[in-house]
Amino acid sequence: MRPEESSGLLRYPATAADWQARARRRLPRFLFDYLDGGAGGECTLAANVQDFNRIRVRQRVLVDVSAVDTRTQLAGQDCALPLALAPVGLAGMMARRGEAQAMRAASAAGVPFTLSTVGICALDEVCAAAPAGSPPPWFQLYMLRDRGAVRALLDKAWHHCCRTLVFTVDLPATGMRQRDVRNGMAHAGTRAGLLRAMQLLAHPGWIWDVALRGKPLTFGCLSDQVPGGRDLNAFKAWVDAQFDPSVTWSDIAWLREHWRGRLLLKGILDAHDARASVDCGADGIVVSNHGGRQLDGVASTISALPAIAQAVGGRTEVLLDGGVRSGTDVFKALALGARGVLIGRAWIWALAGGGEGAVRELLASWQRELRLAMMLTGCTRVQDVGSGQLEPDYEQK
Ligand code: FNR
């Protein structure tokens, strides 16, 4: 039983699971399930988390750890800890102006925020949310059939000073998310009503914005592209029709031509694909199975990481997401060969449960936890964390 279920609403949520419980209480069921759920029987979703829990860390003592430093660089950007917020579509439904809140929290914590192609807040709003002097967000791209629209998005991102593009390659079509089917989210016929309800129920702020002030809901980066503008149903239909399943490695070359900044390929789970990513000029990869939301039955990301890191680790930046639920998990990912991690559900649960402040608290607590893991394994710099910090069984992987 989760702590919150046994003792009423927790006064001081401490962990990602506490924020998950709070999000469950706050959000309408279908919205919570959209965040929380995965594909099929959710075995890969569960394995992402469980496989982290199986890893055993090697405790070392009597090392001078008075000056532990969690700082690093990800995609050439200084970060207070080896972590970035992963792109989450429709995040702005979970809290009023949700992506802007998350951007502020990430900036305060000194880590990058990634804005999804299918976010609610537009790039200019998210960029404006960052305090002066802090780096702009990373931008996540889904390839659209309309390459002109893609170019317009890239231009817009560049214009807003985004320099890191996260290109998601594991979504030729949307996975079979059975909770969304059960809740009607996946049914075209009921979509309009449900999305309208989402808009109004997700947060009282929406009622103020949308119903009282008549301010239309926008679809972030895509608002200009969608014919018919701001109608929720038109947007969903347009996006579904625009996902391009014909994308291949040659499109990466096209992207390289049109994007001058850093390019990370997100959704790599295979060592061959990792090598191909390096060969086609990507600056980095994100080992990812989309948080278990695409194909149930594929490997957990942490179990896939060692072989991928071994194949390409020295030649490109290897990041990982999926199942990271604590600062100690961040440590474990580093030990198995990642340079850093992206987190998805953890931040969106916190955002839904307590807004910007909750995301800040979560990140601060994970930084403390990572620092502790480093102290208790005798590491003072993140670069020192490697397979030597794991029990011997894990060293050879
Ligand atoms: C996602 N993810 C995702 N990825 C992406 O590239 N673009 C997107 O728009 C989204 N949208 C999205 C919505 C929701 C509700 C979730 C939970 C996830 C995947 C996300 O970036 C990341 O890969 C996973 O969330 C990582 O797994 P964890 O941290 O959620 O276990």
What is the per-residue pLDDT for 243?
87
Closest residue to atom 25 of ligand 1, CA basis: 344
Asked whether residue 394 is domain-assigned, the answer is no
Asked whether residue 359 is domain-assigned, the answer is yes
Among 326, 273, 317, 294, smallest CA distance to 55 is for 326
Looking up tokens 């972590």 gives: 83
- Contact residues for 101 (Cβ-Cβ < 8 A; gap 6+): 95, 129, 351, 355, 356, 359
What is the distance in A from the centroid of ligand 1 to the CA of 393? 30
Q: Which pair of tokens denotes residue 44? A: 């890969």
- Contact residues for 371 (Cβ-Cβ < 8 A; gap 6+): 68, 70, 327
Q: Which pair of tokens denotes residue 116? A: 């999804």
Give yes or no for residue 327 CB within 6 A of ligand 1.
no
What is the per-residue pLDDT for 1?
43
What residues make up the domain containing 312?
A: 29-177+241-382
Q: Strand 72-74 vs strand 262-268: parallel, antiparallel, or unpaired?
A: unpaired
Would the annotation count 344 as a binding residue?
yes
Convert the pLDDT of each residue in 26-35 to its tens digit: 888 888 999 9
Which residues of the chain, if any, have pLDDT below 70? 1-9, 187-219, 224-234, 394-397
Asked whether residue 198 is domain-assigned, the answer is no
- Contact residues for 139 (Cβ-Cβ < 8 A; gap 6+): 114, 115, 123, 153, 157, 162, 164, 165, 166, 221
The question of ipTM being above 0.85 is answered as yes
Asked whether residue 86 is domain-assigned, the answer is yes
What is the per-residue pLDDT for 396?
46
What is the per-residue pLDDT for 7?
45
Asked whether residue 391 is domain-assigned, the answer is no
Asked whether residue 79 is domain-assigned, the answer is yes
Q: What is the CATH number of the domain that holds 310?
A: 3.20.20.70
- Calpha distance 186→182 (Å, rounded): 8
What is the per-residue pLDDT for 395?
46
Asked whether residue 37 is domain-assigned, the answer is yes
Give yes or no for residue 325 CB within 6 A of ligand 1.
no
Number of structural domains the chain divides into: 1
What is the per-residue pLDDT for 137?
97
For the chain, what's the residue count? Answer: 397
What is the per-residue pLDDT for 221?
73
Asked whether residue 226 is domain-assigned, the answer is no
Best of 51, 141, 247, 293 for a ligand 1 pocket test (most atoms within 8 Å of beta carbon): 293
What is the distance in A from the centroid of ligand 1 to the CA of 345? 7
